[in-house]
């Protein structure tokens, strides 16, 4: 018995230390033990006033109650004086809502079915012998948590009150506060009188004994539908289905946001990671914040981590404040992750120490996650954080999970596809499909090996692990949301696309455009053949890419092309002179390498390292090849000078801005003038900073409110956008640095001065101007060259570009478009001409249509069948969070309920899965566990309407249920055998455990590994658990910790070891036995 004197009774919250804290359970055991040890004449008495959770707490103290019986410490007393013959009086009631007597009995049943047989026997004895009695308050909410102990007389010796219910959580788990009332004898008499009146006020027909007998005698315990569904919501962790508000002021989530939130929660629970890809401006931050609020409620002792660009960090904080979770969140700017990872650090001031973020978070949210696709300090540091929070779920937000290649998607998924989450993939049946598809993709040499089957596999993974609700879906499926946001008269409209076709004077065409393809065809691009330091390498694909980029700059602007040709000229002269002089490179001064180029221009034309590689490689060549290189390089210089002469003749001097006859700039000027007269601010995008500078110089003198931004400037992006949104200027000229990570809702017009191949880029650009709170028609002007000057297809033909090179340049979206349009099923290398014709059609579509139309027709995502049915049950039975909280989370004895069949609504359709068809016709929905993993064995039907009373499970029903259980068991056993779960595989895993045991010396670590080995020998792990264990142990073994100075510490700090610890505490003693947990019988009136 713990001494409760001089202790704060807070359920050992850890605030003051073990020697100064205690639990409510300690209080009860203290007084019950004193009563047992006392030499008394009168029976020990006790009054308990609690919420309707008494029976969940009784089991925790049932052994001490057993001692009360064995020592005859309690006996019946005078009913007239006490109100009942039972010495222990319990008054219960609902804390937050009124409930009927039948529902209260059902809740008693729910609590009792979690008892072991001994606890049931003790409670039955107390009730049968008249030693405990119950009264129920039903018509009003009931908040007292009062405990009075009578050791010597009819007046309580001590009275305790506080926040703790007589429940398992209230007695020992929750942080509570219970205080002994410092009262004199008169006050204690007053408490006794108050409880007497409460006792008289309560109802006494709560037949707990009948409930206990029913539970003991039944294989399946009946629960009314309302309690049954509350139980399923709790058991399956679907409490998020009850959440419907976004903020502390109760503002409702929009319908499509609520749908998104529910799907996000379900997938996070299923896979441990998910990608939220709703279109720009649709409120991803709000959905993520609602998700964070749910995680905070579930795990109040852990935090939420938000990784976001610094430009939007304050927005995240503001939204989190609306949700009431800002105090429990840490916000980490993306820039901080650019520091050197701890293991690679060389600069003490630029180190990111992931250890500061270890085991702190239940949820990690990564905004603009596409910035983590590629290997970098940023990605490595994020991976360290995820690894050190192995129990945390990971939510990535990105409107563009696939930007250029399917590898983008898999790269993002791999951020959370690690550690325990791999096991979750396997439980959900996705692991093998994911890894198989990823492997197929890695084996592709080129896009021209891509098939429609592989595309479908990639789409299936994308659909399973990401959600994308677009503006088009909102417009067609969620019209009420738009009206709620912006008023009845405002509706979202597709962007108004205008194709701005332009041409140039005939002189431009004759002297430059007609000559561009022959010029590029004749360029040798000799330096690129020496760049990699591996001798003379004539890479046709690489050379073609350089030439193609030059051409695309001409499409962008005359100035960008002019500057590029001029820079190419200077660069090739530097290469020629450096090679010819041979020793000049040793001077280590780029400006000194040329006698014909201005030193500043020379310094900007190339980099020292590449120049050194070219010169070094040239030295290694035989004399004849050296002469060929110099001859070809000089030919290129002569050719470039001829092109520069043509450009100067046609365009004029580079100092003349804009070029005379630049009709593309003239057309842009007209658009700006027209739109500013309509008070419509503009954002003008180009892929090239040279073009941005040219447009700025061309327009700023004529229009006061023109500003430009690109990566070559030191302008603060956030302040720049903020200034525009405040109305301090009206025209932005920018590269795609403003195409993501910022909101520009003031813009009404988007101008694409040049067109990328990737529709995602165009969607991102337009999305900057769209906000879900301000739906409007955005004007989009797409500049595309007239056919007379569009020479791209001619370039492909003349330079004989390989199909795989073309497809790699154009990108995945073109291939998907080809397949979605049913133009092809499989790419064929010998059909290049047909693909080039299709490419022209694709470019036409990009220039003249909403780029989202290039994607296949979209439909809104769907919740799982289970979630849809549970949501319907929540609405039908008005289930509240309180209803869910009062039922227990586990199911130790199978429960069932009966519902009306939905008739034809539940008849399987022709296209439904065969297994689902069969189970729908069976008349049962069954939930169970195999190896400790809960799942829906046979799907829930649509109906949630209560069935007729008195219709229980027949012997035939239980036989059917048992047949389904055996089938589930056999399926599980087959999977175990197929996966190599038995025999040799187990032996190999045990050997692997032994190998790791040899690496560690710490006794606690050895005990952990011994526990793992015991479970392996007992065949106590499921397939996913075995595979996860094998991955973790193999990783530890391969790291070769034995060479490290302190292998124990290194292993202990690894995420793999945390996985081993988890698995050392898991495993199923039933070797994966299938157990029925809940059954719904659907009643028909036939």
Look at residue 392 and tell me whether its pLDDT is greater than 90.
yes
Task: Determine the pLDDT at residue 692.
Answer: 94
Which of 464, 665, 713, 447 is CA-nearest to residue 558? 665
Task: Determine the pLDDT at residue 917.
Answer: 44
Task: Determine the pLDDT at residue 985.
Answer: 57
Residue that is written with structure tokens 């049962």 in the block:
924
Look at residue 422 and tell me whether its pLDDT is greater than 80.
yes
What is the average per-residue pLDDT within 416-434?
85
Query: Which H or E run contains 610?
Result: helix 608-619
CB 557 within 8 Å of CB 694: yes
Task: Determine the pLDDT at residue 558.
Answer: 87
Look at residue 265 and tell me whether its pLDDT is greater than 90.
yes
Is residue 89 very low, low, confident or very high in pLDDT (cuts 50, 70, 90)? Answer: very high
Assigned token pair, 174: 């929750």
Residues 8-217: name the CATH superfamily: Endonuclease Chain A (3.30.870.10)
Number of other residues whose CB lies within 10 A of the CB of residue 206: 20
Task: Determine the pLDDT at residue 774.
Answer: 64
Task: Determine the pLDDT at residue 584.
Answer: 47
Assigned token pair, 349: 């001031």
Residue 47, classed as helix, strand or coil, is: strand
Asked if the domains 8-217 and 253-467 are classified in one and the same CATH topology, the answer is no
Please state, in angstroms and rounded to a whole number, the distance separating the CA atoms of residues 809 and 547.
12
Task: Determine the pLDDT at residue 914.
Answer: 47
- Per 3-state DSSP, the chain is made up of helix, strand and coil in percentages (nearest 5) of 55, 10, 35
The CATH number, out of the four listed (3.40.50.300, 3.40.50.620, 3.30.110.30, 1.10.3720.10), of the domain defined by the range 496-502+662-854: 3.40.50.300
pTM of the predicted model over 0.75: no
Please state, in angstroms and rounded to a whole number, the distance separating the CA atoms of residues 328 and 106.
37
Assigned token pair, 963: 């047949």
Task: Determine the pLDDT at residue 731.
Answer: 94
Which of 680, 283, 764 is CA-nearest to residue 484? 283
Strand partners, 1074: 930
Please state, in angstroms and rounded to a whole number, the distance separating the CA atoms of residues 398 and 93.
48
Residue that is written with structure tokens 């490595």 in the block:
380
Q: In this predicted model, which residue has the larger pLDDT, 347 or 1000? A: 1000
Angle among Cα 1068, 1074, 1078 to the nearest 5 degrees reads 115
Is residue 601 very low, low, confident or very high in pLDDT (cuts 50, 70, 90)? Answer: low
Q: What is the DSSP letter of 253?
A: P
Q: In this predicted model, which residue has the larger pLDDT, 724 or 328? A: 724
CB 505 within 8 Å of CB 661: yes
Domain boundaries, the chain: 8-217, 253-467, 496-502+662-854, 510-651, 863-1086
Task: Determine the pLDDT at residue 859.
Answer: 63
Measured between alpha carbons, how far is residue 108 from residues 96, 145, 168, 213 in Å? 17, 18, 14, 12
Task: Determine the pLDDT at residue 1070.
Answer: 46
Task: Determine the pLDDT at residue 509.
Answer: 82
What is the average per-residue pLDDT within 1038-1055?
71
Task: Determine the pLDDT at residue 178.
Answer: 92
Task: Determine the pLDDT at residue 869.
Answer: 93
pLDDT tens-digit map of 234-264: 888 888 888 665 555 566 678 888 889 999 9
Please state, in angstroms and rounded to a whole number, the distance separating the CA atoms of residues 148 and 87.
12
DSSP alpha helices (H): ranges in 799-892?
803-810, 812-820, 832-848, 865-876, 881-885
**Which value, in Å, is the radius of gyration of the alpha carbons in the chain?**
37
Task: Determine the pLDDT at residue 60.
Answer: 82
Is residue 331 very low, low, confident or very high in pLDDT (cuts 50, 70, 90)? Answer: very high
Look at residue 979 and tell me whether its pLDDT is greater than 60.
no
- Strand residue runs (E) in 982-1073: none
What is the average per-residue pLDDT within 671-696?
93
Is residue 723 very low, low, confident or very high in pLDDT (cuts 50, 70, 90)? Answer: very high
Assigned token pair, 331: 């916000």
What is the average per-residue pLDDT within 337-362?
79
Please state, in angstroms and rounded to a whole number, the distance separating the CA atoms of residues 280 and 31.
62
pLDDT tens-digit map of 920-975: 456 899 999 887 778 898 899 988 998 887 778 888 999 989 988 888 888 777 66
CB 819 within 8 Å of CB 457: no
Range with lowest mean pLDDT among 26-30, 115-119, 540-544, 813-817? 813-817
Q: In this predicted model, which residue has the larger pLDDT, 330 or 654? A: 330
What is the average per-residue pLDDT within 58-64?
84
Which of 1083, 1079, 1056 is CA-nearest to residue 220? 1079
Please state, in angstroms and rounded to a whole number, the distance separating the CA atoms of residues 65 and 707.
80
What is the average per-residue pLDDT within 623-631?
87
Residues 253-467: name the CATH superfamily: Tandem AAA-ATPase domain (3.40.50.10810)
Please state, in angstroms and rounded to a whole number, the distance separating the CA atoms of residues 784 and 752.
9
Residue 730, classed as helix, strand or coil, is: coil
Please state, in angstroms and rounded to a whole number, the distance separating the CA atoms of residues 884 and 51.
14
Please state, in angstroms and rounded to a whole number, the distance separating the CA atoms of residues 1054 and 707.
50
What is the average per-residue pLDDT within 337-361?
79
Helices 284-298, 310-323: axis angle to 10 degrees equals: 50
What is the average per-residue pLDDT within 1000-1023?
79
Task: Determine the pLDDT at residue 916.
Answer: 45
**Listed ranges 387-396, 404-413, 548-557, 709-718; the one with the highest mean pLDDT:** 387-396
Which of 430, 654, 656, 699 is CA-nearest to residue 560? 654
């Amino acid at each position: 018995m713990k001494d409760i004197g001089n202790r704060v009774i807070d359920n050992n919250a850890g605030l003051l230390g073990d020697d100064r804290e205690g639990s409510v359970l300690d209080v009860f055991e203290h007084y019950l033990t004193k009563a047992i040890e006392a030499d008394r004449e009168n029976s020990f008495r006790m009054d308990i006033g609690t919420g309707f959770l008494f029976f969940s707490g009784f089991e925790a103290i049932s052994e001490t109650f057993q001692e009360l019986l064995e020592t005859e410490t309690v006996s019946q007393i005078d009913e007239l004086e006490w109100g009942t013959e039972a010495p222990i009086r319990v008054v219960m009631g609902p804390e937050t809502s009124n409930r009927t007597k039948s529902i209260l009995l059902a809740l008693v049943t729910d609590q009792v079915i979690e008892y072991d047989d001994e606890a049931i026997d003790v409670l039955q004895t107390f009730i049968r012998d008249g030693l405990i009695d119950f009264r129920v308050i039903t018509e009003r909410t009931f908040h007292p948590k009062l405990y009075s102990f009578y050791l010597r007389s009819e007046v309580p010796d001590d009275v305790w009150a506080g926040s703790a219910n007589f429940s398992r959580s209230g007695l020992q788990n929750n942080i509570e506060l219970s205080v002994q009332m410092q009262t004199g004898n008169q006050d204690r008499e007053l408490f006794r009188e108050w409880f007497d009146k409460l006792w008289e006020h309560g109802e006494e027909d709560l037949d707990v004994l009948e409930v206990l007998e029913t539970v003991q005698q039944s294989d399946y315990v009946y629960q009314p539908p309302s309690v049954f569904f509350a139980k399923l919501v709790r058991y399956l962790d679907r409490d998020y289905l009850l959440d419907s508000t976004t903020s502390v002021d109760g503002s409702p989530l929009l319908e499509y946001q609520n749908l998104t939130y529910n799907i996000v929660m379900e997938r996070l629970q299923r896979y441990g990671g998910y990608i939220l890809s709703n279109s720009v401006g649709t409120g991803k931050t709000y959905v993520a914040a609602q998700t964070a609020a749910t995680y905070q409620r579930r795990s109040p002792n852990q935090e939420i981590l938000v990784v976001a660009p610094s430009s939007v960090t304050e927005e995240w904080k503001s939204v989190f404040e609306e949700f009431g979770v800002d105090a429990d969140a840490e916000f980490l700017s993306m820039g901080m992750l650019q520091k050197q990872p701890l293991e690679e650090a060389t600069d003490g001031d630029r180190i990111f120490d992931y250890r500061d973020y270890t085991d702190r978070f239940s949820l990690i949210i990564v905004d603009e996650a596409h910035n983590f696709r590629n290997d970098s300090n940023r990605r490595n540091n994020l991976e360290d954080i995820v690894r050190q929070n192995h129990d945390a779920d990971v939510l990535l937000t990105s409107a563009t999970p696939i930007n250029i290649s399917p590898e983008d998607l898999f790269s993002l998924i791999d951020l959370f596809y690690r550690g325990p989450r791999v096991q979750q993939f396997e439980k959900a049946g996705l692991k093998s499909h994911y890894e198989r598809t990823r492997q197929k993709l890695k084996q592709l040499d080129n896009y021209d090996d891509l098939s429609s089957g592989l595309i479908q596999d990639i789409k299936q993974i994308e659909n399973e692990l990401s959600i994308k609700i677009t503006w088009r879906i909102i417009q067609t499926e969620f019209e009420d949301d738009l009206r709620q946001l912006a008023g009845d008269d405002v509706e979202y409209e597709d962007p108004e696309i205008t194709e701005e076709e332009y041409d140039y004077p005939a002189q431009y065409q004759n002297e430059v455009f007609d000559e561009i393809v022959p010029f590029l065809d004749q360029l040798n691009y000799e330096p690129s053949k020496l760049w990699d330091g591996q001798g003379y390498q004539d890479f046709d694909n690489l050379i073609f890419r350089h030439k193609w980029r030059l051409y695309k700059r001409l499409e962008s602007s005359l100035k960008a092309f002019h500057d590029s040709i001029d820079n190419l000229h200077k660069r090739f002269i530097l290469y020629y002179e450096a090679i010819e002089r041979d020793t000049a490179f040793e001077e280590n001064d780029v400006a000194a390498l040329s006698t014909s180029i201005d030193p500043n221009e020379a310094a900007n034309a190339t980099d020292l390292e590449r120049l050194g590689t070219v010169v070094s490689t040239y030295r290694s060549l035989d004399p004849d090849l050296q002469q060929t290189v110099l001859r070809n390089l000089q030919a290129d210089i002569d050719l470039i000078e001829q092109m520069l002469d043509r450009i100067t003749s046609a365009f004029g001097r580079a100092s003349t801005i804009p070029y005379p006859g630049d009709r593309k700039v003239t057309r842009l000027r007209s658009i700006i003038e027209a739109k500013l007269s309509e008070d419509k601010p503009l954002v003008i995008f180009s892929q090239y900073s040279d073009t941005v500078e040219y447009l700025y110089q061309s327009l700023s003198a004529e229009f006061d409110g023109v500003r430009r931004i690109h990566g070559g400037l030191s302008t603060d992006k956030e302040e720049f956008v903020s200034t525009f949104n405040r109305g301090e200027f009206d025209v932005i000229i920018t590269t795609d640095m403003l195409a993501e990570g910022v909101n520009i809702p003031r813009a009404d017009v988007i101008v694409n001065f040049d067109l990328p191949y990737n529709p995602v880029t165009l969607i991102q650009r337009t999305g900057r101007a769209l906000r879900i709170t301000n739906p409007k028609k955005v004007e989009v002007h797409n500049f595309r060259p007239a056919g007379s000057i569009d020479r791209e297809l001619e370039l492909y033909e003349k330079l004989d570009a390989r199909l795989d090179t073309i497809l790699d340049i154009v990108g995945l979206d073109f291939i998907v478009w080809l397949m979605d349009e049913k133009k092809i099923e499989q790419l064929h290398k010998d059909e290049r001409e047909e693909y080039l014709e299709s490419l022209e059609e694709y470019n036409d579509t990009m220039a003249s249509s909403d780029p989202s139309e290039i994607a296949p027709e979209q439909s809104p995502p769907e919740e799982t069948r289970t979630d849809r049915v549970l949501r319907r049950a929540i609405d039908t039975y008005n289930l509240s969070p309180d209803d869910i909280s009062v039922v227990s989370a586990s199911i130790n004895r199978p429960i069932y309920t009966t519902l009306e069949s939905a008739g034809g609504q539940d008849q399987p359709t022709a296209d439904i899965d065969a297994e689902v068809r069969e189970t729908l016709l069976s008349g049962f929905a069954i939930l169970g566990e195999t190896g400790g993993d809960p799942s829906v064995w046979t799907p829930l039907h649509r109906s949630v309407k209560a069935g007729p009373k008195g219709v229980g499970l027949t012997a035939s029903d239980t036989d059917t249920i048992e047949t389904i259980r055996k089938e589930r068991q056999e399926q599980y056993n087959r999977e175990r055998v197929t996966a190599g779960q038995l025999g040799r595989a187990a032996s190999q895993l045990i050997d692997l455990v032994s190998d790791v045991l040899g690496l560690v010396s710490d006794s606690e670590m050895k005990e952990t590994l011994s526990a793992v080995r015991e479970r392996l020998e007992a065949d106590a792990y499921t397939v996913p658990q075995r595979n996860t264990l094998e991955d973790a142990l193999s990783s530890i073994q391969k790291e070769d910790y034995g060479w490290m100075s302190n292998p124990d510490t290194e292993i202990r700090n690894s995420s793999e070891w945390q996985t081993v610890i988890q698995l050392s505490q898991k495993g199923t003693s039933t070797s994966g036995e299938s157990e029925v947990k809940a059954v719904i019988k659907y009643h028909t009136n036939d």
